[in-house]
Amino acid sequence: MGRGRVELKRIENKINRQVTFSKRRNGLLKKAYELSVLCDAEVGLIIFSSRGKLYEFASAGMSRTLERYQRSSYNSQDNSLVVADRETQSWYQEVSKLKAKYESLQRSQRHLLGEDLGPLSVKELQNLEKQLEGALSQARQRKTQIMVEQMEELRRKERQLGDMNKQLKNKLEADTQGSYRVIQGSWESTALVGNNNFSGHPSQSSSMDCEPTLQIGYHQYVSAEGASIPRSTAGENNFIQGWVL
């Protein structure tokens, strides 16, 4: 039955810690020796105990192994420095290229704006003129295209407004015809009611259609006191009163 997995932590018991150190130290030294013999490797092992005691193993001598280790470490440092220098030089070259390109673009921009034209030769000026003509032609084409697109948009809006105007006109005509029909119906109903009222009062119509009549004899005369007397008597009385006066 195999042992369980040992947890890697400091052994608190001093005696057990010392026993474990002795066993594992001997095993580690044995493994280093076997590795150097089996694989023909130069192995150097240095162990210091908790009390400061030194234990070592070197297959080719400790001083020789340490010297070789120092040379290897220095070479690795030198190699890292060389790699860093190369990276620095590459970045410096890249920055120099970008800086030169930036300055060239600035000069081209100044030339396109009509500045610093003195150092340019005739050929360079001709090339600059061609560039300006090409840029001007492209700008005009783009302007024409934008104007055409704007005109098309305005025409489309005009058609939409025309359709809306027609719809509103048709709606207005329909509303006008409906209101005219309502007014005409109200007029007809009013005329019908007036005819019915006129035909329902025969006394009024008969009073309007008067016929001429003839009355024979004296008309009654109403005095101021309210008594009725014949017309002839009233005339005689008036004549007598006037003669007496």
pLDDT of res. 128:
84
Q: Which residue has 């024409």 as its token pair? A: 144
Query: Across residues 36-41, what is the average pLDDT?
Result: 90
pLDDT tens for residues 200-219?
Answer: 444 444 444 445 554 554 44
- pLDDT at residue 104 tops 50: yes
Query: Across residues 51-69, what is the average pLDDT?
Result: 87
Query: Across residues 36-56, what is the average pLDDT?
Result: 89
Query: Across residues 3-13, what is the average pLDDT?
Result: 77
Question: Rounded to an integer, what distance in angstroms lies between the CA atom of residue 221 and that of residue 227?
Answer: 8
Q: Which of 111, 102, 103, 100 is nearest to 135 (CA)?
A: 111
Tokens encoding 234: 């009233």
Tokens encoding 212: 């001429």
Categorize the per-residue pLDDT at 147 as very low, low, confident or very high, splitting at 50, 70 and 90. very high
Average pLDDT, the chain: 76
pLDDT of res. 76:
63
- pLDDT at residue 50 tops 50: yes
Q: Where are the domains of the chain?
A: 9-60, 72-116, 120-165
Query: Across residues 177-202, what is the average pLDDT?
Result: 62
- pLDDT at residue 192 tops 80: no
CA distances from 63 to 43, 44, 66, 73 (A): 12, 10, 5, 15
Measured over the CA atoms of residue 105, residue 109, residue 111 and residue 115, the dihedral's sign is: negative
Kindly calculate the radius of gyration of the chain based on its CA atoms and give it in whole angstroms: 68
Q: Which residue has 């042992």 as its token pair? A: 3
pLDDT of res. 118:
80
CATH number of 9-60, picked from 3.40.1810.10, 2.60.40.420, 3.40.50.300, 2.60.40.10: 3.40.1810.10
